[in-house]
Amino acid sequence: MADAIQRLVGLLRQLPSVGEKTAARLVFYILSSPAEYGKALSGAIEDVVERVKPCRICGNLSEHSPCPVCADPKRDETTICVVEKVQDLMAIEASNEYRGVYHVLRGNLSPLDGKGPEQIGVDGLLDRLPGNVRELILATSSSVEGEATALYLKKRIASMNIKISRIASGIPVGGELEYVDRGTLGRALAGRREMQ
């Protein structure tokens, strides 16, 4: 294979769920398409890398900081929904059931992988709480790490007079929010329970 082809195959193979064969198929698809497609694709990747940054308030990824959610005056700033990744925020937004704001952690607590509170950005969340926040919805996944993260946050916030709830019903055990259908996610949010 030509060097340029090999190089692109090698880069695509690093993407999640892309193996050698799929990478080669993608490259030959690009080569068989009009040149504009390949150029638009590379331009779009460059734009994403250069323009998209984390929101300085919530950690959401967008071309603006504050992000469109934080900048929207119609959002309810007294309710913060805590998620473990930006895709979960996007899934909740797509459900159209939520009018509060978010805080995006960098994953869940996982001491064995060296991920403590500092690594996942707990301080950024705690810094926001002395304001007018009344409710924190913990929407980390129902995996062991997601539950541990929710419990940890509950303990840290317990003394702050903020209602803490956890989305639960309808989300499968170990379930990743981003794969849950919109209706189920909407019901899970609406049916959230206060953590005891």
Q: Which is nearer to Zn ion, 89 or 180 (by Cβ)?
A: 89
Looking at residue 54, the DSSP 8-state letter turns out to be E
Q: Which is nearer to Zn ion, 9 or 70 (by Cβ)?
A: 70
What DSSP element (H or E) covers 157? helix 144-157
For residue 114, the Cα-to-chain-centroid distance in whole angstroms is 20
Would you count residue 125 as binding Zn ion (CB under 5 A)?
no
Shortest distance, position 68 Cβ to Zn ion, whole Å: 8
Q: How far apart are CA 42 and CA 16, in angstroms?
A: 18
Q: Which is nearer to Zn ion, 55 or 105 (by Cβ)?
A: 55
Q: Which two three-digit tokens encode residue 123?
A: 């301080």
Shortest distance, position 181 Cβ to Zn ion, whole Å: 25
Looking at residue 194, the DSSP 8-state letter turns out to be E
Would you count residue 177 as binding Zn ion (CB under 5 A)?
no
Shortest distance, position 101 Cβ to Zn ion, whole Å: 7
Q: Which is nearer to Zn ion, 113 or 123 (by Cβ)?
A: 123
Q: Which of 151, 94, 161, 98 is nearest to 122 (CA)?
A: 151
Q: Which of 85, 84, 52, 50 is nearest to 68 (CA)?
A: 52
- Which of positions 20-79 make contact with Zn ion (CB under 5 A)? 55, 57-58, 60, 66-67, 70
Residues binding Zn ion: number (CB under 5 A): 7
Shortest distance, position 99 Cβ to Zn ion, whole Å: 14
CA distances from 55 to 21, 50, 70, 106 (A): 37, 14, 8, 13
- In degrees and rounded to multiples of 5, residue 110 shows phi and psi of -155, 80
Q: Which two three-digit tokens encode residue 124?
A: 């950024």
Q: Which is nearer to Zn ion, 67 or 157 (by Cβ)?
A: 67
Shortest distance, position 162 Cβ to Zn ion, whole Å: 19
Q: Which is nearer to Zn ion, 83 or 157 (by Cβ)?
A: 83
Would you count residue 89 as binding Zn ion (CB under 5 A)?
no
Binding positions for Zn ion, rule: CB under 5 A: 55, 57-58, 60, 66-67, 70
